[in-house]
Structure 1
Amino acid sequence: MPANDFATRLRNRERILGYWSVIDSPVSTEWLAHLDWDYIALDLQHGLMGYDGLLRGLQAIDSAAGSAGVVRVEANDPTYIGKALDAGARMVIVPLIDSAADAERAVASTRYSPAGIRSYGPMRSQLRVGPLPSEANRDTAVVAMIETPQGLENVESICAVEGLDGVYVGPSDLRLAVGGSSPTDTSVDDVFEEAIVRVQKAAAAAGIAAGIHTPSGELAAQRLSEGYTFATVASDLTHLKAASAHHLEAARSGATR
């Protein structure tokens, strides 16, 4: 998939699959981008990288010439959003959106005047996105995270915000938001699944993309079959740990036979 087609595919609600990266490791990010993921998402909110890591990660993704570089920014702030876009992000995922007003602020931060308040200084992004403001507005996307009690309560009005390209479920925080004692509390499964359905239906009614983070390819496939239009799988750090643990167990078990 050409990276410049990413925003169009997202807005057309095509099925899109991505992978999550939290570690500042451009070489491993480049390897991931050489697979067939539609996008690689770099996590600046909870990930173990700063702006230099973001820049190197986007360069690694672009060098593979397949996946689109996506960034979850630190906060709903025009400075963080603008820096991610200037570095070459094709989409920003904006956390902790509680209201339509929050979503409007996020959208405005991604769009050049007169559609928004983004300051013109595309730096690296002008090599691939733009450089005309109209082209950048067309070829970059913004999605709002639904992960708080307020965000869930206001999800329909959030989805109706003009210029918002999609919503994205943060399942760990959303499970806490519906009363879970931890991100894996199964006692709230029913109400959590109701919330998942509500977000998907609100996005579909508004004609925007519905995305969700998942721990596995199997659950990603399930969510897509349930009406979500894009899904992200796990993260590099969790898979690194899981793969290492698996091989360690196998080696120890074999050695004791």
Structure 2
Amino acid sequence: MNANNFAERLRAREQLIGYWVVLDAPVATERIARIGYDYVALDGQHGLLGYQGLLSGLMAVDAGATLSTRAAGTGAVGLVRVEANDATPIGRALDAGAAGVIVPLVDTAEDAARAVAAARYPGASGGIRSYGPMRSGLRFGPVPAEADAATVVLAMIETPQGLANVAEICATPGLDGIYVGPSDLCLAVGGRYPNDPEVADEFDNALEIIAKTAAEAGVAAGIHTPDGQTANLRLTQGYTFATVASDLTHLEAIATDHLKAARQ
């Protein structure tokens, strides 16, 4: 799958499934990218990756996707959750070859507009992105308008303010979609910790509101999930893309299962 095709499918609200990477392990990321996921998201906010890790991870995604495309006509694109809603990390992630950015802590439409502007070049899109395409020029351009068309911008809904302003955020011109951070959203609705059962109803209600609001605005609605079963559930509930777990949590889980089996 090329970046243009991914952007078109996401904007058309087609169902997409991705995987989350927090480890600076390019060989593992390459293997994940060839499995068949539509995207692989590298976590530049909470993940254990610096800029070199993001760059290596994006190159690994491209390598794995190329192998996958040759074998089955499919292949993942690389996304980056940037560390902050700031033009510098957004621009650097895109210059490194990301097909899009997931921007954290978006509380208002103004925050969303700032993220969009940072990811778009000056001109018809009204962006402020500085022209230094590096790897992205090999993949999405180097014509700025072509890069803009292939680049997706996703705003995270994870705070009380973001939830309250979700309709205005979804209506932001140029924003391609929203992305739910469930751990922070649980705290935002009053939870004492992620997955707090005492706020399960409030959490589920918030998820429903977010998915419905995105649908009414015609933008993509994504969410992070702990496993494939939950990802499937969220897609049936109206979310249009879902990310599965992470490499680190899966590594720990499978190692634990094998240890239990060996000791039995």
Q: Please classify the TM superposition score into its range, dividing by the shorter chain length.
A: over 0.9
Contact 2:102 2:156 survives alignment (8 Å): yes
Q: 2:183 aligns with which of 162, 172, 195?
A: 172
- Give 1:95's aligned residue: 104
Deviation per residue, 1:45-90 (Å, 9 max, x gap): 0000100000000000001221100000000000000000000000
TM-score, normalisation: structure 2:
0.95
Using the TM superposition, name which of 202-211 and 1-10 deviates more.
1-10
Matched residue SS, 1:97 = coil
Separation in structure 1 between the aligned mates of residue 245 and residue 96 of structure 2, nearest angstrom: 24
Separation in structure 1 between the aligned mates of residue 163 and residue 2 of structure 2, nearest angstrom: 33
**Deviation of the 1:184 alpha carbon:** 1.9
- Give 2:252's aligned residue: 241
**Deviation of the 1:123 alpha carbon:** 0.5
- Give 2:159's aligned residue: 148
Q: How does 1:8-27 map to 2 (within 5 A)?
A: 8-27=8-27
Q: How does 1:1-257 map to 2 (within 5 A)?
A: 1-64=1-64, 65=66, 66-114=75-123, 115-253=126-264
- Give 2:69's aligned residue: none
**Deviation of the 1:132 alpha carbon:** 0.3
Q: Which runs of 4+ in 1 moved over 6 A?
A: none
Matched residue SS, 1:40 = strand
Contact 2:115 2:153 survives alignment (8 Å): yes
Matched residue SS, 1:123 = coil
Deviation per residue, 1:107-142 (Å, 9 max, x gap): 000000022100000101111111100000000000
Separation in structure 2 between the aligned mates of residue 102 and residue 28 of structure 1, nearest angstrom: 34
Contact 2:108 2:161 survives alignment (8 Å): yes
Separation in structure 2 between the aligned mates of residue 157 and residue 21 of structure 1, nearest angstrom: 30
Question: Which ranges in structure 1 are unaligned for 5 or more consecutive residues?
Answer: none
Separation in structure 2 between the aligned mates of residue 15 and residue 206 of structure 1, nearest angstrom: 17
Q: Name the % identity.
A: 64
Separation in structure 2 between the aligned mates of residue 229 and residue 85 of structure 1, nearest angstrom: 23
Separation in structure 2 between the aligned mates of residue 85 and residue 7 of structure 1, nearest angstrom: 14
Deviation per residue, 1:24-63 (Å, 9 max, x gap): 0000000000100000000000000100000000000001
**Deviation of the 1:4 alpha carbon:** 3.0
Separation in structure 2 between the aligned mates of residue 126 and residue 182 of structure 1, nearest angstrom: 42
**Deviation of the 1:2 alpha carbon:** 3.0
TM-score, normalisation: structure 1:
0.97
Question: Which ranges in structure 2 are unaligned for 5 or more consecutive residues?
Answer: 67-74
Separation in structure 2 between the aligned mates of residue 2 and residue 119 of structure 1, nearest angstrom: 23
State the AA in 2 paired with 1:108: A
Deviation per residue, 1:131-189 (Å, 9 max, x gap): 10000000000000000000000000000000000000000000000000000211100
What is the count of residue pairs matched by the alignment? 253
Separation in structure 1 between the aligned mates of residue 2 and residue 147 of structure 2, nearest angstrom: 15
Separation in structure 2 between the aligned mates of residue 15 and residue 43 of structure 1, nearest angstrom: 21
State the AA in 1 paired with 2:115: A
What is the Cα-based RMSD across aligned positions, in Å? 0.6
Matched residue SS, 2:131 = coil
